[in-house]
Copies of this chain bind each other. A is one copy, B any other.
């Protein structure tokens, strides 16, 4: 058996408690030694309030997992890399492409592992979907990602601020699956972004893209969906229809369920992080963030009804 890798978790909020802590505890790869958070605490391990003080006092902790909101992630990642730690970053990796690419360069120079995670890529149906699609001719792709922001992001003001990306916060999950299962680059053709009159980020978006071989892709993101929630990707090939439902958890081929089971997204993330650390490699794929940036860059802006939480 391999030794467990010592780990510190930074940013003890909802996603850390719901996903990171239980996944680390259930896995065999990491030993959670410390938590760093201005407000949250984790029982039974050492807790630090200040990130700089943590870095100075605990250089022997090998890996650092950053679960804070994106706007503070760049500075923390930069400092953790400079201190020689291996670093895992929640999605999105940064608030700009420039920051993301700078971190990848710094990690490469420092010889540490950097893992820019996209949790939806570890949903159960994604890997079999990728395998099934390999070598098949894609005719068209439709993405429908519609959820109720009041239900999933209650009171989270940062999602409406610059760097929060609005409806692209969930939408980037769909784009992370899309870029994982479709071979070759995806290109943005145009986009329509709907901004509530009182908000700085879009509440809905339609993005027209294409695969590198020219198959059309249409994505509809909407945060105003009440009732049933939809996170579906449908790929039409020349013979069949592949559908990923429930954010990638369920895979159907021509309507027949091929893959389903309990959620293992964050278990998969930490297994991959351990593999990367042991191989001294990084995984820094910024394609999903680049697609969002390109949608903002070439997108048409519409003003829609004000949104109140």
Contact = CB atoms under 8 A, between A and B. Distances in A.
Contact of A162 (B162, B293, B300): B300
A187 B299 contact: no
Contacts of A290: 97-98, 101, 293
B96 A298 contact: yes
Contact of A187 (B98, B298, B301): B98
B187 A102 contact: yes
A205 to B, nearest CB: 13
A234 to B, nearest CB: 22
Given A212-B102, A293-B293, A294-B293, A299 B162 contact: yes
A162 B298 contact: yes
By size class, the interface of chain A is 20 to 34
Task: Work out how many copies of this chain go into the complex.
Answer: 2
A102 B162 CA distance: 27
A36 to B, nearest CB: 23
A96 B297 contact: yes
A291 B162 CA distance: 15
Contact of A96 (B99, B165, B294): B294
Question: Sorted from nearest, which 10 A-B pairs have the closest CB atoms?
Answer: A96-B294, A293-B293, A162-B298, A296-B296, A293-B297, A98-B187, A296-B297, A102-B185, A96-B188, A98-B294
12 contacts: A95-B298, A97-B297, A98-B186, A101-B290, A102-B187, A162-B190, A162-B300, A163-B298, A165-B297, A195-B301, A296-B296, A296-B297
